[in-house]
Amino acid sequence: MTDKPSKHEFQAETKQVLDIVVNSLYKDKEIFVRELISNASDALEKLRRLQITEKDIQDDNLEHEIKVSTDESGKTLTIQDFGLGMDKEELIENLGTIAHSGSKAFMEALKSDGENNDNLIGKFGVGFYSVFMVADKVHAFTRTWKKDGQGQCWESDGSGSYSIEEANDQQRGTKIVINLKEEFAEYAKEDRIKDIIKKYSAFVQFPVSVNGEKVNTVDAIWLRSKKDIKDEEYEEFYKFQSNDYEAPLMRMHFSADAPLEINSLLFVPKRNMEKMGMFRNENKVALHCRKVLIDPEPKSLFPEWLRFLKGVVDSSDLPLNVSREVMQDSELLRKLNQVLTKRFLRFLNEQSKKEADTYLEFWKEFGILLKEGAATDFTYKEDLAKLLRFESTALEPGKLTGLDDYIDRMAKDQKEILFLFGKSRESIEAGPYLEALKARSLEVLLLTEPVDEYVMQSVREYKEKKIISADSEELKLEKLDEAPKGKSMTKKDTKALCKWLKETLKDKVSDVETGERLIDSPVCIVGGDGMGGASARRVMKMMQGGDGMPSAPVKLQVNQRHPIIKGLSNLVQSDSNTAELIAYQLLDNALATANLLDDPREMIARSYQAIEKLANQ
């Protein structure tokens, strides 16, 4: 020892995690073995990558392996790897704070979730710190791969602080020496440790030995033939690879020879953590070249909107000797991205037919991300549009349908795919738009998520059919064979009323007309699909989070058969004040049902005026 030990306090958050870990009643204490082996394996993978690009590596001849040894009488367990090791700063950064993934996720979950902590430990693992569930004292001897680096010894009993001092005669890598608490002496038993390692570490890509005896077979499951792999093996691999505690929802094991040689094993988790508001999903599809890990989380292997995927992609076409940065924006990675994305979307479509229930489960969790893709990524527009699901007037509430099925149900002469947006199915059904479509047996997709309308506007078209909002002017409705109930006003009176309304409502309306849309309601707004259209305006409103745009003039349609409209026509002559009041009220009602009324204050004040009139009649 050359230097005096330096004493350090754990970062506050670290202390909190340690506290929970040490005092938890979590029963599967053995998971600490998995955590330490997985750290050792990470360290070896990182080293293997460095060896591709770096020349000056400490102890370059050491084997890539993990050595575990037990000392039953001394109650110690030692786990050693010959990975990349750590220098003093890295020790402080990595073992003194929780800036890294495992424990960070744990902390976030702890904050956002009142769930009991024991459960959380099981779900996330808490990485290195889990060792303090069973240890009195832990030493981490380590030496960095950098040639001029010194050996270091980190020591702690898991309470408030740790110390670091220089340690001579260290080999490259890290050796964790664990002094077990009396009651956990079992973890110093050779057989016990062997069993645990076999259970948790079957997929470690490096040889692991216990007291000199090899315990695992290094095996790349994604290179094996599908028919030889059991469901449980897939599941175990997924859990190992993604740190998930649940089985995956779907998996796609896929191989190709052209245009690229690819072996990939992709998983969809059961839950969308993002939806629970926990944290942003991170794409954890590792990139390998003939089993060698190139990058555990390559940024550009999949589009952003597939960030929930987990798994492995292995391609022997990848060059081993380029840096990760160069790889990130290589042509090859773009190609891989294209091939895999296409293939995965096709897989989803197949699933939607073969495993309809599973697909719906998937849609409920991850549909929002596919919508994100459909709205932003035009490369895969058609494939993504195919996967969208909505409620529809043709189905009972709660049931979902896709665009293909909609087209199958369309009548021969129907040109467009129709949708309506509203806060809920009920509010759309209560609005004025559906009645005319119902009378003509036209199916309407019912959109209720704020982003849905934006998604439809981006997709615009599917299989050469335009997708339009049913309140759009573009929708031309045929005259009904059987005229709706109620006597119509004369052409002349209707024309006069429309003219009067336009003059009265001034700059609030661009035009007032009669049309074929209304059956039971007195008025509605019709909007073009252009920038001034109702649909576009709702989308702007959604994106700007409230009342972004000043209310532009709208087009009003009136129902010349409706008693209110007929009454209004008479009032114009006899009581123009009341007629004006009603005109404004009708306009606001139409705006409200089109989800375009930003501020109801004026309307409420006016309705009081109307009520006052009625009350004093």
Smaller CB separation from ligand ADP, 127 or 149: 127
Question: Distances from the Cα of 348 to the Cαs of 123, 197, 341, 408, in angstroms?
Answer: 27, 35, 11, 20
CB of 145 to Mg ion, least distance (A): 18
Q: Which does 101 bind (CB under 5 to 8 A by kind): Mg ion, ligand ADP, none?
A: ligand ADP
For ligand ADP (CB under 6 A), the number of binding residues is 18
Binding site for Mg ion (CB under 5 A): 39, 102, 127
How far apart, in whole angstroms, are the C-alpha atoms of residue 580 and residue 51?
A: 82
Smaller CB separation from Mg ion, 64 or 538: 64
CB of 132 to ligand ADP, least distance (A): 11
CB of 216 to ligand ADP, least distance (A): 17
| Among 37, 95, 287, 417, interactor with ligand ADP by CB under 6 A | 95
R_g (Cα) of the chain, nearest Å: 33
Smaller CB separation from ligand ADP, 98 or 265: 98
How far apart, in whole angstroms, are the C-alpha atoms of residue 325 and residue 68?
A: 34
Alpha helix locations (H) across 355-379?
356-376
Binding segment for ligand ADP (CB under 6 A), chosen from 39-47, 222-230, 314-322, 462-470, is 39-47
Dihedral over Cα of 516, 520, 524, 530: its sign: negative
Taking CB under 6 A as the rule, does residue 589 contact ligand ADP? no
Q: In 3D, which of 275, 272, 274, 299 has the Cα closest to residue 286?
A: 299
Provide CB contacts within 8 A for 171, sequence distance 6+: 59, 62, 82, 143
The rounded Cα 123 to chain-centroid distance in angstroms is 19
Q: Which does 96 bind (CB under 5 to 8 A by kind): Mg ion, ligand ADP, none?
A: none
Cis omega (within 30 of 0) for bond into 269: no
Strand ranges for 25-132 from DSSP E = 66-71, 76-81
Binding segment for ligand ADP (CB under 6 A), chosen from 79-87, 221-229, 373-381, 405-413, is 79-87
Binding segment for ligand ADP (CB under 6 A), chosen from 23-31, 84-92, 255-263, 303-311, is 84-92
Q: Which does 293 bind (CB under 5 to 8 A by kind): ligand ADP, Mg ion, none?
A: none
CB of 91 to ligand ADP, least distance (A): 8
Smaller CB separation from Mg ion, 296 or 528: 296
CB of 249 to Mg ion, least distance (A): 25
> Do residues 267 and 310 make contact, with C-beta atoms less than 8 angstroms apart?
yes
Taking CB under 6 A as the rule, does residue 264 contact ligand ADP? no
Binding segment for ligand ADP (CB under 6 A), chosen from 3-11, 98-106, 310-318, 417-425, is 98-106
Structure tokens at 491: 């052409």
CB of 282 to ligand ADP, least distance (A): 12
| Among 86, 434, 498, 591, interactor with ligand ADP by CB under 6 A | 86
Q: Which does 401 bind (CB under 5 to 8 A by kind): ligand ADP, Mg ion, none?
A: none
611's enclosing H/E stretch is helix 601-615
Taking CB under 6 A as the rule, does residue 26 contact ligand ADP? no
> Do residues 419 and 444 make contact, with C-beta atoms less than 8 angstroms apart?
yes
Other Cβ atoms less than 10 A from the Cβ of 225: the count is: 8
Per DSSP, 5 falls in state -
Question: Distances from the Cα of 54 to the Cαs of 50, 146, 384, in angstroms?
Answer: 6, 10, 43
Taking CB under 6 A as the rule, does residue 81 contact ligand ADP? yes
Smaller CB separation from ligand ADP, 95 or 446: 95
Amino acid, res. 412: K
Smaller CB separation from ligand ADP, 42 or 405: 42
| Among 94, 144, 341, 557, interactor with ligand ADP by CB under 6 A | 94
Taking CB under 6 A as the rule, does residue 83 contact ligand ADP? yes
How far apart, in whole angstroms, are the C-alpha atoms of residue 275 and residue 446?
A: 22
Give me the residues paired with residue 311 across strands.
Answer: 266, 285
Binding segment for ligand ADP (CB under 6 A), chosen from 3-11, 95-103, 334-342, 519-527, is 95-103
Smaller CB separation from Mg ion, 128 or 406: 128
CB of 286 to ligand ADP, least distance (A): 14
Largest CA distance in the chain: 107
CB of 309 to ligand ADP, least distance (A): 19
Smaller CB separation from ligand ADP, 164 or 455: 164
Structure tokens at 421: 């947006």
Binding letters toward ligand ADP, positions 108-147, x by CB under 6 A: -------------------xx-------------------
Structure tokens at 200: 């948790």
CB of 227 to Mg ion, least distance (A): 33
Smaller CB separation from ligand ADP, 32 or 363: 32
CB of 44 to Mg ion, least distance (A): 13
Q: Name residue, tokens 């009323």.
A: 497
Q: Could you please report the per-residue DSSP string of 248-268?
A: -SEEEEEEE-SSS-EEEEEEE
Provide CB contacts within 8 A for 8, sequence distance 6+: 92, 96, 161, 162, 163, 164
187-190-193-199 Cα dihedral, nearest 10 degrees:
-150
Smaller CB separation from Mg ion, 141 or 302: 141
Q: In 3D, which of 79, 78, 42, 48 has the Cα closest to residue 63?
A: 48
| Among 40, 109, 193, 470, interactor with ligand ADP by CB under 6 A | 40
- Tell which positions 155-214 bind ligand ADP, by CB under 6 A: 174
Residues composing the chain: 617
Binding residues vs ligand ADP (CB under 6 A): 35, 39-40, 43, 81, 83-86, 94-95, 100-103, 127-128, 174
